[in-house]
Amino acid sequence: MKRKGFTLVELAIVLVIIGLILGAILKGQELINNAKMKRLYNQYREVLAAIYTYYDRYGAFPGDDPTANTRWSTTPGNGDGLIGGFTFNCPTTGGGETCYLWHHLKLANIITGSLDNTAPRNPYGGTVGVGYATVQGLTTHWIGFDNVPGDVCLSIDQQYDDGVYNTGSIRGSGDYRANPNTIYDLYIRL
């Protein structure tokens, strides 16, 4: 009588193959997460470079530039040296200096995109904001990213600053060390 079914060796081989596939998938997911995190920090560096390129070229911060309307058909800033009215929610027109910033950078051909005040998206689906604001007790210019996972905030803070959400040059809207599975706003000093 011939038995039908799998031997223990065959089952072991199948389980090893399944384990290898799962390991590859998990490692692949880790690589994707690391790439998104690096893209977010690179986006910070690109925005920082764009702002200072504009400043070097025109002598004022984009968004705050009081003579922007002499170069282009746009709304000028008040020229007080501060990119006022920090927000992540820039309408296509209006919205104050923090939103004019994007229009000024696009008109100067420093960044690409539709010629309006719309802010770019970050790798986590949120928007990028730039402006003068108080974040966790420090008032200065910030480049902010909304909708960022807490574990990503913590990792970036540990790699480039002190790893604490309410001190240093990188800060968060909440304690991402205590709650790494929550979504936060991440701010990096300009």
Residue 183 bridge partners (DSSP): 149
Residue 74: other Cβ atoms inside 10 A? 17
Most confidently modeled of 4-13, 87-96, 126-135? 126-135
In the numeric block, which tokens belong to residue 90? 């820039």
Region of 89 on the Ramachandran plot (φ > 0 left; ψ -120 to 50 alpha; else beta): beta
Distance between CA atoms of residues 48 and 190, nearest Å: 7
Q: What is the pLDDT of residues 141-162, one digit of tens each?
A: 999 999 999 999 999 999 999 9
pTM for the model stands at 0.86
CATH of segment(s) 36-189? 3.30.1690
Average pLDDT over residues 101-112: 97
- Residue-range domain boundaries for the chain: 36-189
Q: What is the pLDDT of residues 38-55, one digit of tens each?
A: 999 999 999 999 999 999
